[in-house]
Amino acid sequence: MTIERTFVMVKPDGVQRGLVGEVIRRLERKGLKLVAMKLVRLDRATAEAHYAVHREKPFYRALVDFVTAGPVVPMVWEGPSAVEVVRNLLGATDGRRAAPGTIRGDYGADIQMNLVHGSDSPETAAAEIALHFRPEEIVEWSRTLEAWLHEEG
């Protein structure tokens, strides 16, 4: 079992729609552990770096406009296979196609405004965490509940 960290961010549409608590609730209930969180307005340079992999896509500029249009809630979550677990909880990119039961499937019907970002690999997660958080903003803490959530590594 690999304990991973993943970068999750409630996007401006999720914050505007009052879904921050719902996103956190679902990740907490899954047994993931929150180790960093803040509310910020991304500057353009950070948003461009965050989505740099999509820089040649036709939707890139609109995407950067969207993600800088209001506050976001960047977070770091930890747990066994956290990257994959979060991606499964988020659902497919397009809310119209995302399965019911997923966050995007339950709350969204748009491809750009899909409420939440989740890293797509442990390598991407490390880069995104470093982009959005200073090391001292990540909190190491232990849960007494841990033994009831998953077997020891």
Site string for Mg ion, 93-122 (x = CB under 5 A): ---------------------------x--
Least Å distance between CB 36 and ligand IDP?
20
At 43, list the tokens.
């500057």
Is residue 71 classed as helix, strand or coil in its secondary structure?
coil
Number of residues that bind ligand IDP (CB under 6 A): 9
Is 132 part of the annotated catalytic residue set?
no
Decide which of ligand IDP, Mg ion, none touches 112; Cβ closer than 5 to 8 Å per partner kind: ligand IDP
Q: Can residue 114 be called a binding residue for ligand IDP (CB under 6 A)? A: yes
152 with 29: CB under 8 angstroms? no
- CA 70 – CA 100 distance, rounded (Å): 27
Scanning the structure block, which residue is given the tokens 């956290």?
82
Which range in 31-39, 74-82, 107-115, 125-133 contacts ligand IDP by CB under 6 A?
Answer: 107-115
Q: Can residue 132 be called a binding residue for ligand IDP (CB under 6 A)? A: no
Decide which of ligand IDP, Mg ion, none touches 88; Cβ closer than 5 to 8 Å per partner kind: none
Is residue 141 classed as helix, strand or coil in its secondary structure?
coil
- CA 24 – CA 29 distance, rounded (Å): 8
Number of residues that bind Mg ion (CB under 5 A): 1
First to last CA, the chain: 5
The closest residue (CB) to Mg ion is 120
28 with 79: CB under 8 angstroms? no
Q: Can residue 112 be called a binding residue for ligand IDP (CB under 6 A)? A: yes
